[in-house]
Structure 1
Amino acid sequence: MGLLSELKLAVPWGHIAAKAWGSQQGSPVLCLHGWLDNANSFDRLIPLLPKDFHYVAMDFGGHGLSSHYYLGVPYCQENFVNEIGRVVAALKWKRFSLLSHSFGGIIGGMFSCIFPEMVDKLILLDTLPFTMDPKGMENMLTYRRGAIEHMLQAEAFQKPRQVVKPEEMLQRFLKNNNHLNEECGRLLLQRGTTQVATGLMMNRDRRVGLLEYSIPFLTRELLVHSIKQLQAQVLLIKASQGYFNMERGITDKSVMLLVLDTLRSVLKEQFQYMEVPGNHYVHLNQPQNVADIISAFLQSKERLPH
């Protein structure tokens, strides 16, 4: 299944860039990339998925080929959720599925709770649909302060974008994204950089700071309330060596188990959980590990076998 088209969807601050595969008459699937990634994250997976769906992968604002926000406008969860609403309105989609990786799953999860009647299926690739902090309310003001200080500092010290030789750019990128192999690193940099006479410049807005500055952490009560709003069928695919790999201590085990247990207890047959070999970018490095699971979920009304 080849790329159908590149899209530029008008928004008040510029445009949201996206790319589309498959027939426009097919059932719509919106694909949401991870933090600091872009729509090329799905280039190796979508060709392995059912041909009778229409897939659109968007670049979030400040990422990939999408416009940066105006100065003074923060990159926060509510604005990213808003972007999904703008994209599906432009595409004239009334009901659709979400295929999301990492940060995209957090945004897609919140959209699915706020607009539950619009989302048919929610696929989460090595991500949870909500963020929680073990210390909960204790850290909330610290995160909010950090977000404000980061934005003010980034805007006050605007520097020219650095130009780097292509190979040096790749090595820096791989060092900061050690779950990516070289081929996949090059793929993300294709859309994440701009070629100039002396090298490459990163496209993303440098005001996009740490993830915790943009995503509010839910309390247990709000987590349960949010999950109860979901109407979508939910599939969570965990990578064995991914972001939630407890052995490496990347995330707090109790938080992950709490969210999973809550999803199971509230959604029951609406929720499906699968684990596959691979790391956080399994959908890009080894798309064959997840393609059949996703295909069966998109096509079937029945619960997947474990």
Structure 2
Amino acid sequence: MQSPSHTNWQFAVHGRQLAVMEWGNPQGTPVIALHGWLDNAASFTLLAHHLPHVRLIALDLAGHGFSDHRPVGQPYYIWDNVADVQALVEHLALDEVVLLGHSLGAGVATLFAGAFPERVSRMILLDGMIPLDYPASQLPESMAKALRRGARLSRRTLKPYDSFEQALETRINSRWPVSREAATWLLERGMRQTADGWVWRSDMALTQPSIVRLCESQIAAFVRRLSMPVQLIMAERSEELSLIETMLPLVADLEFKTLAASHHLHLESGPAQQIANWIRESLRGR
């Protein structure tokens, strides 16, 4: 499939540049799309193909894709992504948006919508809903474990790939496999060529465990404030499902669906078509 035409642009947040891919109709409903961990904005390419009448605005989260990394030594906390989404909404001068989030991006969307429910008209969440948590009683041990592991990871370097094709094969056969076409979209935005070979653009600090996470009761407080319609689309047998079951009754207006697909359901041909159909129906009901 030929990739749908898009524009690339950037905006500044506290001296850092965050990158954006935008597809579709500039006068269409603005949908801000937030990708998963170690993915990038190109993960929404297939959905953009099926949603030409929507203004689809996909952000490269900090440390991913073409966006700048956070300063050395600064952890990647999920609430900092929420602040970056707020900066994007303000930069676009939008009073209200639709949020589309996958996995990590779904957790960011939920926190943003819980903090600013008046700014979000509707949410579409793909195989995810909330951020990972640390039980409050286990926070000291979790912090110590994360600090020890982070110290080890900070000394680690990744060997470059000899070719783009080698990197492509690795991504296709990874823990969360995707098609060759989808992997190409992700890697064209997620890798760069150096004198030593092909390396990831993403910040290695993203692989370090969180020193602090929200606890379940804190996350629940955000979920209870989701006053807008929420469409949650999960992959069958999803690893994420057990993490969100206790939160589902807290959502006032929830439409829950499942698809026979993998974690990257929006990058599979059939599931992506169905998701796009549901999004169009959802937006018609605004």
- Alignment check: 8 A CA contact 1:234 1:271 kept: yes
Specify which of 215, 218, 228 is matched with residue 215 of structure 2. 218
Percent identity reads: 26
**Displacement after TM superposition at 1:226 (Å):** 2.1
Instruction: Tell me the distance in 2 between the aligned counterparts of 1:296 and 1:154.
Output: 45
Q: What whole-Å deviation, never above 9, does each CA across 1:256-303 have from its counterpart, x for those lacking one?
A: 32122333xxx0xx21111122111111122113111121112214xx
**Displacement after TM superposition at 1:142 (Å):** 3.1
Specify which of 43, 46, 52 is matched with residue 44 of structure 1. 46
Specify which of 146, 169, 172 is matched with residue 170 of structure 2. 172
- Alignment check: 8 A CA contact 1:3 1:19 kept: no
Whichever residue aligns with residue 141 of structure 1, its letter is: P
Q: What whole-Å deviation, never above 9, does each CA across 1:84-121 have from its counterpart, x for those lacking one?
A: 11111222222101011001001110011111111111
Instruction: Tell me the distance in 2 between the aligned counterparts of 1:130 and 1:229.
Output: 15
**Displacement after TM superposition at 1:182 (Å):** 2.3
Change (3 A) 1:261 1:8: same
Q: What does 1:1-306 align with in structure 2 at a 5 Å threshold?
A: 2-49=4-51, 51=53, 53-132=54-133, 136-155=135-154, 157=155, 159=157, 162-197=160-195, 199-210=197-208, 213=210, 216-219=213-216, 221-244=217-240, 253=242, 255-263=243-251, 267=252, 270-286=253-269, 287-301=272-286
Instruction: Tell me the distance in 2 between the aligned counterparts of 1:232 and 1:151.
Output: 38
Decide which moves more: 272-281 or 221-230.
221-230
Instruction: Tell me the distance in 2 between the aligned counterparts of 1:109 and 1:187.
Output: 26
- Alignment check: 8 A CA contact 1:75 1:214 kept: no
Q: What whole-Å deviation, never above 9, does each CA across 1:134-182 have from its counterpart, x for those lacking one?
A: xx33432333334444444444x37487343222212222333343122
SS at structure 2 position matched to 1:29: strand
Unaligned runs of 5+ in 1: 246-252, 302-306
TM-score between the two structures when normalised by the length of structure 2: 0.89
TM-score between the two structures when normalised by the length of structure 1: 0.83
- Alignment check: 8 A CA contact 1:64 1:204 kept: yes
Change (3 A) 1:49 1:215: farther
Instruction: Tell me the distance in 1 between the aligned counterparts of 2:214 and 2:136.
Output: 8
Instruction: Tell me the distance in 1 between the aligned counterparts of 2:124 and 2:103.
Output: 11
**Displacement after TM superposition at 1:24 (Å):** 2.5
Number of matched pairs: 282
- Alignment check: 8 A CA contact 2:33 2:99 kept: yes
Moved over 6 A (4+): none
Change (3 A) 1:295 1:230: same
Change (3 A) 1:80 1:148: farther
CA RMSD of aligned residues (A): 2.4
**Displacement after TM superposition at 1:48 (Å):** 0.7
Unaligned runs of 5+ in 2: none
Instruction: Tell me the distance in 2 between the aligned counterparts of 1:40 and 1:283.
Output: 11
Instruction: Tell me the distance in 1 between the aligned counterparts of 2:99 and 2:142.
Output: 28
